[in-house]
Copies of this chain bind each other. A is one copy, B any other.
Amino acid sequence: MEGSLQIVDVNKFEALAVHERLAALQAAGNEDRKLLIRVLAPDDAADVLQKATREFREQLLLLLDQATRAEVIALLAYAEDVAGGLMTPRFLRLRPELTIKEAKVYVERQIGAGQASTSRYIYVLAVDQKLLGVLSARELQLGASTARVEEIMRRDVITVHDHLDREAVAHVYNSHAYKALPVIDADGRMVGVLTADDIVGVVQAEATEDMHKVGGSPALDAPYLQAPLRAIIPWRAIALAILFVGETFTASALGYFQDEIAKHVALTLFMPLILSSGGNSGSQATTFVIRALALGQIKLRDAFKVFRREFIIGASLGAILAVLGLLRVLGWQFLFNMYGDLYMTYALIVLVSLIGVVLWGSLVGALLPLIIKACRCDPATSSAPLVATFVDVTGLIIYFEVAKVLLAGL
């Protein structure tokens, strides 16, 4: 292979996804392999090796220079989806006792070696690698030459532990505007840094997971068209079956109101309309709250604020839909004389139960994710279909109880 061709390969190689990089390495000759694997930053190399067979992994490790090999081996010890598996082990570092003038020279030397994943922050470490503080590049530039690093560094650094899972990492990252997060091990030693490069994939993957869950199925990790059907069908079936069993309570509830239905068949006409309105307002509320929790915009302690907010919203939405429902019943009555003598009572039943069901749907949708979070589970489990199922069962009871009261004696 010629020099120019190799360079094209390196370029292309950098643009590939992890499994494509692995395939390219398998296809390459030994010299090219060495070139390609050395192009990757240690965290990217570790991602590829993670996917390789044990034997091929050993081969590839031998192609790395000694320093990188040690870094990659350390990274391979972490699960892929924890801070340690996402971070890069290369960052700018300083000792606390250096003067700013000395520090600038050290930092330039480290940048020149091309090792740092970010040059925005410089971390101050003790001899035992414990993280003492942080300086931004700008602070280093502004600092007086004779001041010591420890005098101007910031000591209250936001850090994450190396075994923290990616969802929690994304939370910490979202909760402030720093552009890098230092990762420390159980002994407080800094082992790496997370930058936006490492986080952007996490943020995507977490959003995908939440979206799938909100849609009412377990999260799918592989791309949609690549995931094997034998993996998709059982998971989606289990989720649907659970919802189905929940929804069978509607059949039981309806059985309980069978006498009212037999006497007033017109009541069944509005049943899907009223139940779906409750489910839809619940679906709106639950996705808002799930997303706000994921972005750290609301916490569990905001539960009362959320309740108050959705109470006002739900009551307003219920009132608006109730008016529409009233107009629908009266309109069709005048146009087609569809509902007989009791049309005014039916219109009132629709009006009152829409307010109740929509308000109830909003409250259930908003509070269910908070309750699930309080139980230390993933709030995204409160999916739109789960809320709709719950509101179907309880909404039916609201609807027919309202009907029973308003039809009493008729």
Contact = CB atoms under 8 A, between A and B. Distances in A.
B261 A268 contact: yes
B224 A287 contact: no
Nearest to A393: B272
B321 A244 contact: yes
Given A4-B152, A250-B273, A297 B224 contact: yes
Interface residues of A, number: 121
B389 A276 contact: yes
A239 interface: yes
A272 B392 contact: yes
B138 A39 contact: yes
Interface stretch (A71-79, A123-131, A160-168, A225-233): A225-233
Interface stretch (A58-66, A185-193, A288-296, A401-409): A288-296
A289 B224 contact: yes
A106 to B, nearest CB: 14
B207 A284 contact: no
> How would you classify the secondary structure of chain A's contact residues: helix, strand, loop or mixed?
helix
A281 to B, nearest CB: 6
Contact of A254 (B136, B215, B272, B385): B272
A163 B194 CA distance: 30
Given A204-B295, A236-B317, A388-B276, A136 B258 contact: no
Interface in A118-165: 119, 136-139, 141-144, 151-152, 154
Contact of A272 (B4, B220, B275): B275
Interface stretch (A12-20, A49-57, A371-379): A12-20
Copies of chain A in the complex: 2
A114 B163 CA distance: 33
A3 B144 CA distance: 10
23 contacts: A3-B144, A7-B154, A8-B154, A10-B138, A11-B136, A15-B177, A15-B178, A17-B177, A114-B137, A119-B119, A217-B284, A223-B292, A225-B306, A225-B309, A229-B312, A229-B313, A237-B320, A241-B321, A250-B273, A261-B268, A272-B272, A283-B383, A388-B388
Smallest CB-CB A-B distances: 7 pairs: A215-B287, A207-B207, A196-B196, A224-B292, A250-B272, A223-B297, A280-B385
Given A111-B111, A114-B141, A388-B388, 7 more contacts: A195-B196, A211-B290, A223-B295, A225-B305, A241-B321, A268-B271, A283-B383
Interface of A: 3-4, 7-8, 10-11, 14-17, 35, 39, 108, 111-112, 114, 119, 136-139, 141-144, 151-152, 154, 174, 176-179, 195-197, 199-200, 203-204, 207-208, 210-212, 214-217, 220, 223-225, 229, 232-233, 236-237, 239-241, 243-245, 247-248, 250-251, 254-255, 258, 261-262, 265, 268-273, 275-277, 279-281, 283-284, 286-292, 295, 297-298, 302, 305-306, 309, 312-313, 316-317, 320-321, 324-325, 328, 332, 338, 358, 383-385, 388-389, 392, 396
